[in-house]
């Protein structure tokens, strides 16, 4: 019984070593904080975060269903390729999660509900044929839009403002860049099964250059956020640490491209940078 529960939790990537699906809920809550600061409607914000998090559970479970063959190469220990969860069980679980997330969202307001619906649709389009954005140039755009929607969804609890909008676009650009690193570390399985990710279409070095452009755009917005607010030492220190981590990940990628170890290390560094950005926005919201 417990082994089955743990397998379902693993399917949702709650305890992922790179980026937990709880991150989407955190981003939703950050959106609420940035829009309302000390006047935060805590209960409604937590409900919105829960709806978006459960939708992300469904999206990641759905991705595992359609990536089962790829995972037999990239990560055979995943619940479906290892046989701990069957495809039919995973499908029923995913449908249930989508229903729960939209049911929760509709109790709040129309904007939150639409954001959860749009977020869910993007997740479906990312994994499911015939669109399957994962297999093409729109994969990382899909990732970036998805994370931006979570922030906007949280902000809409009280009202979308400049701070939440900047956060949405910043996280959108940087998430798109980190998505390219994920594609790089999964190259072996993607190539074996003919998945056309950006690193495969453009080549690894060009993909790293695209990532660099996306990160510059994202970090530029972080400084714009600084200019719109009073000078804050903690915020400045947080974004400086984020930039250092992300820059170091890029140095690693440019120095030693072509190895899975390099790509895994860079992805882990960028995941840490993403958490630091969340800390920076928390500081902005609470000061």
3-state SS of 99-146 is HHHHHHHCCCCHHHHHHHHHHHHHHHHHHCCCCCCCCCCCHHHHHHHH
Length of the chain: 287
Q: Above 80 in pLDDT, residue 97?
A: yes
Residue 65: per-residue pLDDT: 93
Residue 276: per-residue pLDDT: 84
Q: Above 80 in pLDDT, residue 285?
A: no
* Residue 27 half-sphere exposure toward CB, CA atoms < 13 A: 34
Residue 215: per-residue pLDDT: 85
> Of the given ranges (51-55, 73-77, 85-89, 243-247), which has the lowest mean pLDDT?
73-77
Q: How confident is the model at residue 91 (pLDDT cuts 50, 70, 90)?
A: very high
pLDDT digits (tens, 9 = 90+) for 30-52: 899 888 867 778 899 999 999 99
pTM of the full structure: 0.85
Please report the domains of the chain, with CATH numbers, ordered by start residue: 18-286 (1.10.357.140)
Contact 234, 254 (CB under 8 A): no
| Tally of CB atoms within 10 A around 191 | 14
d(CA 276, CA 115): 25
Q: How confident is the model at residue 77 (pLDDT cuts 50, 70, 90)?
A: confident
């Amino acid at each position: 019984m417990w082994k089955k529960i743990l397998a379902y939790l693993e399917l949702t990537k709650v305890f992922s070593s790179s980026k937990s699906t709880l991150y989407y809920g955190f981003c939703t809550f950050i959106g609420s904080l940035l829009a309302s600061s000390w006047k935060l409607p805590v209960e409604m914000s937590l409900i919105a975060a829960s709806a978006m998090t459960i939708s992300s559970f469904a999206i990641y479970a759905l991705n595992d269903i359609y990536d089962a063959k790829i995972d037999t190469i990239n990560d055979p220990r995943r619940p479906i390729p290892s046989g701990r969860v069957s495809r039919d069980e995973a499908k029923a679980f995913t449908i249930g999660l989508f229903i729960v997330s939209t049911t929760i969202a509709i109790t709040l307001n129309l904007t939150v509900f639409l954001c959860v619906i749009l977020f869910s649709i993007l997740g479906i389009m990312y994994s499911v044929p015939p669109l399957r954005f994962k297999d093409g140039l729109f994969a990382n755009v899909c990732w970036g839009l998805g994370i931006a929607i979570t922030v906007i969804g949280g902000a809409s609890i009280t009202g979308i403002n400049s701070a939440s909008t900047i956060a949405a676009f910043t996280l959108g650009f940087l998430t798109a860049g980190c998505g390219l690193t994920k594609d790089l570390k999964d190259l072996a399985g993607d190539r074996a099964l003919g998945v056309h990710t950006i690193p495969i279409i453009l080549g690894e070095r060009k993909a790293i250059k695209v990532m660099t452009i996306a990160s510059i755009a994202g970090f530029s917005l972080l400084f714009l956020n600084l200019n719109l607010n009073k000078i804050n030492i903690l915020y400045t220190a947080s974004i400086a640490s984020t930039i250092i981590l992300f820059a170091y990940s890029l140095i690693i990628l440019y120095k030693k491209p072509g190895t899975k170890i390099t790509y895994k290390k860079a992805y882990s560094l960028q995941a840490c940078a993403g958490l630091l950005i969340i800390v920076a926005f928390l500081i902005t919201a609470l000061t």
